[in-house]
């Protein structure tokens, strides 16, 4: 390569703590990561969220040094790591199944990294004790790790990774082996520990709730690229792509075609009538109009500044936090599923005619995916 593009720091600001620049990784002929860029600030907790096969675990392994990228660079705390082998990177990893060493006790597992650093016996003992205290596992120091429950094993895996004071902590779906209730407790507990220690963390998950709960920022990944990097609220309220919209949270979506565009607002012709939205598209573009469930009201007066869908209710599916409405368009007979936060008092009888309305400002428009254009 003739010129390696440096991850340019924004003018005036110091360079980010972790910089991943133009990273590309291939397996044979398949490109798993394509020219990927990511920056993380010190002390931040960033989630890599995406479906399986999106490259999030590959990115994690590249940062860890367990794989080599074809091109690109990785810098942590001003230290160029691209060519540094895994064991010299000072990166901590909590593995999916924890990868505890069954031939060692709990304390020996936690001490493993410290003995590699040739610390004194006293220091190892003290720091292992502190780490076990931190994850509330001190009484288990001399147990065998195979005798521990899933949650306890996870605590040990965390203690083992943070006791060496890594420059960055990587977590590879650490909750996937736990049952749901335990998972929620552990999420909050882990978040507290990491925040108290101020450890910069990158967290791989395919579970959007987990990412929303734990993260300062979320990187939604798809097909080897980051589609949207932002705060949880940002990701949810203004997703940058249709994929992000679909992957995080629920939504009601209508395919259509832009008929007019002026003043930062477009009008879209759909099977359920014309919708307006704040966006800029050329007339004639195939698009998808979308709205989040909590923006939708039922049967409220339509008026200026609101989009309306009139349809006959065919089915109501109660899903706890959300309710799914199956509707059939009056004009076209097309089917639509709408998700709303709560039913109006008195419920909705099947077969009733509804008007769903939402504010134009809450309406999102995305270019239609090539295959699903109407």
Partner 1 sequence: MATAARILSAIILALVLIFLIMPIAIVIPISFSPSTIFSFPPTGFSLRWYENIRNADGILRALWLSTQIAGLSTAISLLLGTLCAIAIVRGFIPGGRLVATFMTSPLMIPGLVLGIAMLQAAREIGLRDGYAALLLAHVVVTMPFIMRTVLASLALFDFAMVDAARMLGCSYPAALWRVLVPNILPGFVSGALFAFIVSFDNYPVSIFLVDVRTKTLPIQLLNQLEMSPDPTLAAVATIMVVLTILALLVCDRLVGLKRMAAV
Partner 2 sequence: MSGVLSGAPAARPARSRLRFEGDMRGLMALPALLFMGIVFALPLGLLLAKSVQGADGLTLNGYARVLGDAYYRGVIWDSLTLAFRVTLISLLVGYPAAYALARTGGVMQVLLFSLVFLPLTVSIIVKTFGLTIMFRREGILNWLLINTGLTDGPIRFVFTEMSLVIGMVNVFLPFMILPLYSVIRMLDGRYLDAAATLGAGPFTTFRRVVLPLTMPGIVAGSSIVFAISVAAYVTPGLLIGERYMTMSMVMAKAFLNFRDYQLGSAMACVMLVIALSIVFASSFLTRSLEQRGGR
Q: How far apart are CA 340 and CA 323, in angstroms?
A: 5
Closest separation between CB of residue 190 and partner 1, Å?
Answer: 18
List 338, 354, 356, 364, residue binding partner 2 (CB under 8 A): 338
* Residue 117 interacting entry, from partner 1, partner 2, none, C-beta within 5 to 8 Å by type: partner 1
Q: How far apart are CA 338 and CA 298, in angstroms?
A: 11
Q: Which two tokens stand for residue 213?
A: 């709960």
Residues 6+ apart with CB under 8 A from 123: 114
* Residue 53 interacting entry, from partner 1, partner 2, none, C-beta within 5 to 8 Å by type: partner 2
Angstrom distances, CA of residue 156 to CA of 17, 226, 322: 27, 31, 37
- What is residue 116's three-state secondary structure? helix
* Stretch near partner 2 under the rule CB under 8 A, chosen from 69-77, 102-110, 173-181, 334-342: 334-342
- Contact between 343 and partner 2 by CB under 8 A: the answer reads no
* Residue 64 interacting entry, from partner 2, partner 1, none, C-beta within 5 to 8 Å by type: partner 1
Closest separation between CB of residue 77 and partner 2, Å?
Answer: 26
Q: How far apart are CA 132 and CA 11, in angstroms?
A: 42
- Contact between 313 and partner 1 by CB under 8 A: the answer reads no
* Residue 177 interacting entry, from partner 2, partner 1, none, C-beta within 5 to 8 Å by type: none
Smallest CA-to-CA distance from 3 within 74, 56, 61, 73 is with 73
Q: Distance between terminal CA atoms of the chain?
A: 44
Which residue is listed with tokens 């791989």? Answer: 204
The footprint of partner 2 on residues 111-140 (CB under 8 A) is none
- Contact between 54 and partner 2 by CB under 8 A: the answer reads yes
Closest separation between CB of residue 93 and partner 2, Å?
Answer: 18
- The residues of the shown chain that bind partner 1, judged by CB under 8 A, are 64-66, 85-89, 91-93, 95-97, 99-103, 112-113, 116-117, 160-161, 164
């Amino acid at each position: 390569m003739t010129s390696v593009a440096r991850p340019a720091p924004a003018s005036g600001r110091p360079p980010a703590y972790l910089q991943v620049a133009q990273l590309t990784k291939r397996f044979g002929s398949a490109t798993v990561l394509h020219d990927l860029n990511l920056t993380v600030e010190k002390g931040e907790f960033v989630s890599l969220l995406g479906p399986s096969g999106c490259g999030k675990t590959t990115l994690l392994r590249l940062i860890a040094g367990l794989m080599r990228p074809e091109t690109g660079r990785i810098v942590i705390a001003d230290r160029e790591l691209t060519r540094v082998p895994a064991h010299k990177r000072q990166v901590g990893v909590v593995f999916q199944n924890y990868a505890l060493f069954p031939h060692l006790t709990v304390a020996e597992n936690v001490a493993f990294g410290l003995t590699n650093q040739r610390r004194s016996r006293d220091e190892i003992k003290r720091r292992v004790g502190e780490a076990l205290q931190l994850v509330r596992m001190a009484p288990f120091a001399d147990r065998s790790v195979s005798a521990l429950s899933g949650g306890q094993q996870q605590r040990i895996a965390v203690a083992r990774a943070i006791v060496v004071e890594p420059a960055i902590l990587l977590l590879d779906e650490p909750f996937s082996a736990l049952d749901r209730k335990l998972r929620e407790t552990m999420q909050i507990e882990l978040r507290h520990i990491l925040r108290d220690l101020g450890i910069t963390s990158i967290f791989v998950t395919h579970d959007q709730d987990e990412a929303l709960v734990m993260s300062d920022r979320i990187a939604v990944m798809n097909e080897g690229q980051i589609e949207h990097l932002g705060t949880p609220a940002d990701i949810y309220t203004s997703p940058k792509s249709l994929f992000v919209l679909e992957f995080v949270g629920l939504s009601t979506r209508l395919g259509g075609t832009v008929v007019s565009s002026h003043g930062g607002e477009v009008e879209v012709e759909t099977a359920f009538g014309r919708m307006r939205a704040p966006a800029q598209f050329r007339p004639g573009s195939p698009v998808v109009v979308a709205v989040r469930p909590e923006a939708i009201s039922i049967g409220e007066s339509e008026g200026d500044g609101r989009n309306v869908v009139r349809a006959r209710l065919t089915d109501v599916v109660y899903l706890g936090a959300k309710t799914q409405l199956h509707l059939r368009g009056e004009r076209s007979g097309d089917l639509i599923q709408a998700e709303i936060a709560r039913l109006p008092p008195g419920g909705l009888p099947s077969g009733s005619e509804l008007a769903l309305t939402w504010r134009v400002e809450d309406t999102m428009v995305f270019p239609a995916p090539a295959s699903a254009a109407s």
